[in-house]
Homo-oligomer: A and B are copies of this chain.
C-alpha cells in the first residue's frame, strides 16, 4: 500500500486539534511532504465530506463536523485501495481450473476482511484518536 491513510489521518488529526482553519502549506510542514500532495488529499477528503475549505486570503481547511462524529472507518473509506489484501497485476491462466476461478474467490475473501476491518475502525472516532496526543 501507499502512504495515503497515514497522511489522511495526519491531516484529520491536525484539523481536529486546531480551533482555526489551517492552510495546506502549514499541514505539509507538519507532515513533511509536498504541499501539492496534501492539497490533492484535501480535495479527496472534501469530496468525501469530511472537511470543508475556505478559498482566498486567510482561507484554509477545517473539519466539516465534530471529531466525535467522524469514525476512523469513514476516513479509511475515503482513501481505501481496491484490495486490502493486495492485488497482483497478472491475468491468471483461464485454461487452468484454479486460475480460472481464483480471482473471484480472492475478491470474496478480500471483501470479508475489509468488512471486518471497517467494523473495527468504526468503533473509534477521530476525537478519541486525538485524545492520545498530549
Instruction: Answer whether A88 and B120 are a contact pair too, CB < 8 Å, given A1-B83, A32-B99, A98-B13.
Output: no
Task: List the B side residues contacting A98 at CB < 8 Å.
Answer: 10, 13-14, 17, 30, 133
Chain A residues touching B, majority SS = helix
Are B29 and A96 closer than 8 Å at their CB atoms? yes
A interface bracket (residues with beta carbon within 8 Å of B): 35 or more
Contacts A9-B102, A98-B14, A106-B9 given; indicate if A4 touches B92 (C-beta within 8 A): no
Can you show 14 pairs from A to B with CB atoms below 8 A apart? A1-B1, A1-B81, A2-B86, A3-B88, A3-B90, A6-B102, A13-B102, A17-B97, A31-B90, A32-B90, A32-B91, A32-B92, A33-B88, A101-B132
